[in-house]
Amino acid sequence: MKFLYYPGCTLKNKAKALDIYARECAEILGFELVEINDFQCCGGVFTTSADEIATKLAVVRALKAAKAAGMPLVTVCSACHNVIKQTNHAMQTDAVFADRVNRYLNDGDDYHGETKVYHYLEVLRDIIGFDKVKECVKYPLNMNIGAYYGCLMLRPGSVIEMDDAENPQIMEQLIKALGGRPVEYGNRNECCGGYVTVTDPGFARKRSRIIYESAETAGAEMIVTACPLCRYNLIKNGADIPVKYFTELLSKALIGEKE
Amino acid sequence: MQKIGVFVCHCGTNIAATVDVSAVAAALSAEPGVVFAREYQYMCSASGQDLIKDAIKEKELTGVVICSCSPRMHEATFRKAAASAGLNPYMVEIANIREQCSWVHKDKQSATEKAIILGRAAIAKVALNTPLKPGEIPVTKRALVIGGGIAGIQTALDIADAGFEVDIVEKKPTIGGKMAQLDKTFPTLDCAACILTPKMVEASQNEKIRIYSYSQVEAVGGFVGNFTVKIRKKARYVDETKCTGCGLCTEKCPVKNVPNEFNLGMNERHAVYIPFAQAVPKVAVIDADCCRMLKDGKCGLCSKLCGAGAIDYKQEDEIIENKYGAIVAATGYEPISLDKFDEFAYSKSKDVITSLQFERLMNAAGPTGGVLLRPSDNKHPKTIVFVQCVGSRCEAHAKKGKEYCSKICCMYTAKHAMLTREKYPDTDVYVFYIDVRTPGKNFDEFYRRAAEEYGVHYVKGMVGKICAEGDKLKVQASDLIADKQLHIDADLVVLAAAIEPDKSARPLATLLTASMDTNDFFTEAHPKLRPVESPTAGVFLSGCCQGPKDIPETVAQAGAAASKVIGLLCKDKLTANPCVAHADELMCNGCSTCENVCPYHAITYIDKEFKMPDRTVKVRRVAQVNPAVCQGCGACTVACPSKAMDLYGFSGKQIYAEVDAICR
């Protein structure tokens, strides 16, 4: 199966690991990621101001590209995924917003949210199946791993519709399929402080500490995430255990550690 | 020769502000057959009615058209007025120029035009009306109450007190409902069992009351005054007439790890059990899903032990058919499932419980004997957090919980907090709320006592997240008044889960053809003026099946429903609606279409002999309508392919005349 792939700008520099392993593993698991031509930054945040369309146009262009290619759109980064899904939902349900966007783009092909958007994890769960993933594992992880969802991947739950935002299981299921032992800790879906780290580093430090300490207390030997910003914050603010992308974990189990 | 009178109502300014009533009266006076047209401030007033009566007598009117409010409002009033002046009441037609015209339009000119057209249609129809005579139907003098909680019990007691027979159908093995599970009752703090169980006993001993416990309504036929109800009495594998309720079987049964539903799963019961000590009937029941004898045919211990020989593994469900004059729905409520509220860690921690579970923990007959111990480790909780509005007052787009206020939670939470502080003064008690809503006699005083005298920490703000860490529950919340975030390490968290109608209410409403709102609460006939009647004649509402209610309100409503039932059962005969369907046997081709669409099973087919022109006799299958059962819905008249079905008072001809008048 083919997917139009939206890596996002962070995956092209700071978070290359998230991108590279995602591609490698897709090949092994039997699906193809076709990188979208000339993608633009998703904006990083879905602004909720009602009259704001400019920062969402880049995403609508990507969604339209997928529609034109007849492929679902897949993302790996939590922030991109959040902005794309929320924008797509707005195009489906908010007629006024959709009308303004379509008239602005004015390229003869109106868009109303026809593209199906997946997070890479959803592809693994809903299309490939974690059973199949499990079959492909060559190097079972055999360690205690705490999944860290952060705030963007699942919320708002009624729009993202990926998993129960308050009691998610998707990453735990992946960890299990990869031969690891998932550790469910209390703060696994709390915010790390996000971009606030720029203006108020103390606040982000406080938030991040709550999260990794909660994971460590619960017995996690590693934290796994899908968000470059979460990983940055946790590491910068002193996590004592490794913080990895879920794609790194996937690659480690399917392909093995690289030197 | 038709002589039609037209009466146009101002309804104060309700109609007159948007519709030029004088213009309507003037325009309609020119319609064919109209001999009299008048406008008046309030047609429904005594002088307005006199105006109609006088005109009927003086002008010898053959038909009357009243342009006013909806016929639901005053059709009966005007029919009565016409009848008292000697005109057949079915010669009165209402043109609704209020709800369907003045209230929904703004532009006076077009509203006036529409009012004239509506009046014209009514005139065209009344010209074709025929005098109708309502028949009479007898009343079965027995009532059925569905649900045996406090609502059902009180309704049954009040009906029986008036001398009528009444049956209670309860799906659980005992009556008592939710109130039997409660510890104390607000605002007076008397023990729930002490005030409920005497009523349960009274119901069981009252000669006029029959209790079908462990039973469900399976089918409902008939109509007001003459319902036929099938009741499924589920096999309890214990002969009710022999069991003495000694409880020996319930102690010796080797299957003893079944979650006890009466204590909300916080302890265990045996496969044969009596739900609680004061159960009515006090008869054991065997849980067929867990009993070894019923599952594998191996055991039979209870049968050997039972001195009364009451155990009967071969018992089967029994279907009982009874006739009733009136039915009361008293199906009650359930707390909502908290599956979608995992931010409160309900599924993750045993020490996050619902308020109903808390009632059982505080109850002397509960799993801890009334000592407040937390479920995980049986330790005394030192810090307790109560969270209100869990699933109540949720925004619709959040797709979880209910939009409405569950009404009872503020008061029972105040009660729980107060009782905790009284029994265990060393406990820190927090209550998180959106608003504290305590209207009701002595209610606000009660809440203030909890906050002021008992030192309960009331915090305005909601809890955002609870997670278990070690043996503590980390509670993150906001204090909106102090504008700060709170972090509390709690030992026990109590969630005031929203309440919703019992799951059995929706299928029951279908059986009763009673309407429900989007939340599955039964709809009342009028939200203000007929609050205990369903729009379906002969069906009444009692307790939480109509909306969230506390005990005092439930008892009041139960009594009101009973008085409505008594009013109905007092009558020997009911007036039947004469606007029913009838089949033209010469047109009917016996196709059965009408029989299949009739929701009331009012149509049957008979083989009838017809004399043919050539003097032979031919037998044909034709439809027959039972006028006592027909509700006049008209489904058969539109379904009939050969136009053999017609409705008295709403014949095809009359409807076409109305349409013609509108399109003229």
- CB contacts, 8 Å: B474 with chain A: 186
Secondary structure (3-state) at B574: strand
pTM score, whole prediction:
0.83
Query: Which residue of A lies nearest to B343 if distances are taken between CA atoms?
Result: A166
The residue of chain B nearest to residue A168, with distances taken between CA atoms, is B342
- Omega of the bond leading into A156 within 30 degrees of 0 (cis): yes
Nearest to B315 by CA among B288, B349, B353, B336: B288
Closest residue, chain A, to B473 (C-alpha): A186
A186 and B467 within 8 Å at the Cβ level: the answer is yes
Q: Which residue of B has its CA nearest to A157?
A: B398
What are the two backbone dihedrals, phi and then psi, of residue B574, each rounded to the nearest 5 degrees?
-110, 150
Q: Which of B57, B26, B56, B55 is nearest to B39 (CA)?
A: B26
pLDDT of residue A185: 92
Q: Does residue B40 contact residue B74 with C-beta atoms inside 8 Å?
A: no
Distance from C-alpha of B331 to C-alpha of B507, rounded to nearest angstrom = 11
Chain A interface residues (partner B, CB cutoff 8 A): 157-158, 164, 166-167, 184-187, 190, 214, 217-218
Q: CATH number for the B4-126 domain, one of 3.30.460, 1.10.1740, 1.10.3470, 3.40.50? A: 3.40.50
Helix and strand numbers, DSSP H then E, in chain A: 12, 8
* In contact, B471 and B482? CB cutoff 8 Å: no
Tokens of A239: 């996590």
When scoring B342, B387, B394 by the number of chain A Cβ atoms within 10 A, the one with the most, hence best to mutate, is B342
Q: B477 and B432 in contact (C-beta within 8 Å)?
A: yes
Query: What are the beta bridge partners of residue B220?
Result: B229
User: Which tokens hold the place of A214?
Assistant: 């909660």
**Contacts A214 to B, Cβ<8 Å:** 467, 469
Sequence-ordered list of residues with C-beta below 8 angstroms from that of A185, at least 6 positions apart, any chain:
A146, A214, A215, A217, A218, A220, B467, B469
Structure token pair of residue B108: 């006076």
How confident is the prediction for chain A on average, in pLDDT? Answer: 94
Cβ within 8 Å, pair A186-B398: no
Cβ contact, residue pair B342, A158, below 8 Å: no
The strand pair at B92-96 and B63-68 is best described as: parallel
Query: DSSP characters for B10-39?
Result: -TTTTTTTTS-HHHHHHHHHTSTTEEEEEE
H or E element at residue B469 = strand B463-469
Yes or no: say if B338 and B349 are a contact pair by the CB < 8 Å rule.
no
Query: Could you give the CA distance from residue B19 to residue B14 in angstroms, rounded to a whole number?
Result: 9
CB neighbourhood size of B570 (10 A): 12
Closest in B397, B399, B469 to A186, CB measured: B469
What's the pLDDT tens digit per position in A20-43? 999 999 999 999 999 999 899 998
pLDDT in tens, A162-199: 999 888 999 999 999 999 999 999 899 999 999 999 99
Asked if B469 and A217 come within 8 Å (Cβ–Cβ), the reply is yes
**Cross-chain Cβ contact A166/B341 below 8 Å:** yes
Architecture of domain A2-120: Up-down Bundle (1.20)
- Show residues of chain B in contact with A184, CB under 8 Å: 348
* pLDDT for the residue numbered B577: 87
pLDDT recorded at residue B52: 96
Residue A186 distance to chain B (closest CA, Å): 5
Which residues in chain B are closer than 8 Å to A164, comparing Cβ atoms?
340, 342
For tokens 């869990």, the residue is B390
- A166 with B399: Cβ contact below 8 A: no
Interface A-B, measured as beta-carbon pairs within 8 A, has a size of 27
| ipTM above threshold 0.90 | no
Retrieve residue B414's tokens. 């105040």
Q: Residue B373 corresponds to which tokens in the numbers above? A: 């111990």
Chain A CB contacts of B343 under 8 Å are 166
Residue of A nearest to B400 (CA): A158
Numbered residues of chain B with Cβ closer than 8 Å to any chain A Cβ: 340-343, 345, 347-348, 397-399, 465, 467-470, 474
Judge: A158–B399 Cβ closer than 8 Å, yes or no: yes
Pairwise CA distance, residues B85 & B61, whole Å = 10
Mutation for testing the B interface, residue in A86, A89, A154, A166 having most B CBs under 10 Å: A166
Pick from A167, A187, A218: CB nearest B342: A167
Strand partners, B390: B497
Q: What is the CATH number of domain B581-648?
A: 3.30.70.3270
Of B343, B397, B465, the CB nearest to A158: B397
CATH number for region B142-234+317-332+502-569: 3.50.50.60
**Cross-chain Cβ contact B467/A166 below 8 Å:** no
Q: Which residue on chain A is closest to B466 by alpha carbon?
A: A186
Q: What residue of B is the nearest CA neighbor of A164?
A: B340
The answer to whether the CB of B158 falls within 8 A of the CB of B558 is yes
The CA distance from B470 to the nearest CA of chain A, in Å, is 9
Q: Which of A158, A164, A187 is nearest residue B342 as measured by Cβ atoms?
A: A164
DSSP 3-state of B357: helix
Helix (H, G, I), strand (E, B) or coil at B236: coil
Distance from CA of A190 to the nearest CA of B (A): 9
pLDDT band at A259 (very low <50, low <70, confident <90, very high): low
Residues of chain B with pLDDT under 50: none
Q: Which fold has domain A134-254?
A: Rossmann fold (3.40.50)
| Distance in angstroms (rounded) separating the CA atoms of residues A241 and A225 | 13
Alpha helices in B147-263 (DSSP H): 150-161, 192-205, 248-252
- Contact call for B399 and A186, based on CB within 8 A: no
Q: Distance between terminal CA atoms of chain A? A: 31
CA distance A40 to chain B (A): 31
Mutate which: A48, A167, A212, A213, vs B, most B CBs within 10 A: A167
Q: What is the 3-state secondary structure (H, E, C) of B477-533?
A: EEECCCCEEEEEEECEEEEEECEEECCCHHHHHHHHCCCECCCCCECCCECCCECCE
Reading phi first (left if > 0) and then psi (alpha if -120 to 50, else beta), residue B492 is in beta
**B581-648 and B4-126 share a CATH fold:** no
What residues does each domain of chain A span? 2-120, 134-254
CA geometry: angle A186, A46, A225, nearest 5 deg = 35
Using one digit for the tens of pLDDT, what is the confidence trace for A234-249? 999 999 999 999 999 9
Beta bridge partners of B622: B606
Min distance B394 CA to chain A CA atoms (Å): 13
Pick from A61, A67, A64, A72: nearest CA to A34 = A72
Give the three-class secondary structure for B343: helix
The residue assigned the tokens 């909660």 is A214
Three-state secondary structure call for residue B606 = strand
CATH architecture of B335-500: 3-Layer(bba) Sandwich (3.50)
B-chain CB neighbours of A187 within 8 Å are 467
Shortest Cα distance, chain A CAs vs residue B400, angstroms: 9
Residue A17 tokens, joined: 């690991």
Q: Where do the domains of chain B lie?
A: 4-126, 142-234+317-332+502-569, 248-305, 335-500, 581-648
pLDDT at A258 over 80: no
